[in-house]
């Protein structure tokens, strides 16, 4: 029988040179980056090269790990549209010339996929060029709280918690008022936000919270692939509030 591969509890999905780590070789973490290189980004005399040497070279939009693996994920993706040959691009990577919205949408979904239900994710973003609100719109997961740092308070550290409630498939009649968000998921028992994140593609759906009172409207943005194996059903009352 083949042994299941074991992993440390923490994943750093874009580790770069590990500069924010207290211990840059912490055995509790698996360090991942898509590049492995040593770059002399700062050519001034006496400056040391930047070493990017991940435990695994991988793309955070297609992580080679099973679902629900890590207790904690830290995600610090590239955040500036720096010119490729400059210091900042060599240090932090760049958003220039790529479909970064798509990359971050898929990256968030992947990081939440490999995070275990109940696990925490810390997201770091510097909003010098792209406001953090635009980035948070790329994931259906809801942030818990955050902190700003840096001289201009433009670097955000934001905590998320992966939900651990299972949405069991239901059979029979139309949706009832106790269904999550007034909608039900047919034929799938993955945790709801995770599943939708994995399916992220075409349409946007705005949903209301299960008690349907406008005061308690909780608008959640999800994306659903047309003709995907899930079916979303609403009864006539709820359909008014769900704009597809």
Ligand X SMILES: C[S@@+](CC[C@H](N)C(=O)[O-])C[C@H]1O[C@@H](n2cnc3c(N)ncnc32)[C@H](O)[C@@H]1O
**Given the rule CB under 6 A, which residues bind ligand X?**
14-20, 33-35, 52, 59-61, 76-78, 92-93
Alpha-carbon distance of 21 to 183, in angstroms, equals 42
For residues 61 and 42, is the Cβ–Cβ distance under 8 A? no
Pick from 140, 98, 144: which is nearest to 120 by CA? Answer: 144
> Which residue's CB is nearer to ligand X, number 175 or number 200?
200
Name the minimum Å distance from CB 197 to ligand X.
17
List Cβ neighbours of 31 (8 Å cut-off, separation of 6 or more): 12, 15, 18, 54, 55, 56
> Which residue's CB is nearer to ligand X, number 20 or number 142?
20
> Which residue's CB is nearer to ligand X, number 37 or number 204?
37
206-to-6, 93, 166, 211 alpha-carbon distances in Å: 39, 34, 21, 15
Name the minimum Å distance from CB 164 to ligand X.
26
Name the minimum Å distance from CB 11 to ligand X.
11
> Which residue's CB is nearer to ligand X, number 129 or number 218?
129
> Which residue's CB is nearer to ligand X, number 56 or number 241?
56
Alpha-carbon distance of 88 to 189, in angstroms, equals 43
CB-count burial class (<10 Å; 0-12, 13-18, 19+) for 230: middle
Name the minimum Å distance from CB 54 to ligand X.
8
Alpha-carbon distance of 203 to 147, in angstroms, equals 32
Name the minimum Å distance from CB 89 to ligand X.
9
């Amino acid at each position: 029988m083949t042994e299941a591969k074991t992993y440390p509890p923490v994943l750093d999905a874009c580790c770069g040179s590990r500069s924010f780590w207290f211990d840059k070789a912490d055995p509790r973490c698996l360090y991942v980056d898509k590049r492995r290189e040593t770059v002399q980004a700062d050519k001034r005399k006496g400056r040391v090269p930047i070493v990017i040497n991940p435990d695994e070279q991988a793309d955070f939009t297609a992580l080679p790990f099973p679902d629900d693996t890590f207790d904690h994920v830290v995600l610090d993706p590239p955040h500036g549209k720096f010119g490729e040959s400059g210091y900042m691009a060599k240090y932090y990577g760049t958003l220039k010339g790529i479909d970064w919205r798509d990359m971050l949408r898929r990256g968030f979904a992947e990081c939440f996929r490999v995070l275990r239900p109940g696990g925490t994710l810390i997201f770091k973003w510097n909003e010098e060029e792209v406001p953090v609100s635009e980035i948070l719109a790329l994931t259906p997961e809801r942030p818990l709280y955050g902190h700003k740092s840096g001289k201009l308070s433009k670097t955000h550290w934001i905590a998320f918690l992966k939900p651990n409630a299972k949405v069991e498939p239901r059979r029979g009649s139309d949706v009832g008022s106790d269904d999550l968000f007034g909608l039900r998921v047919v034929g799938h028992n993955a945790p709801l936000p995770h599943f939708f994140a994995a399916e992220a593609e075409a349409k946007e759906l705005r949903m209301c919270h299960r008690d349907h009172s406008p005061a308690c409207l909780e608008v959640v943005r999800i994306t659903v692939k047309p003709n995907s194996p899930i079916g979303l059903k609403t009864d006539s009352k709820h359909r008014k509030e769900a704009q597809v």
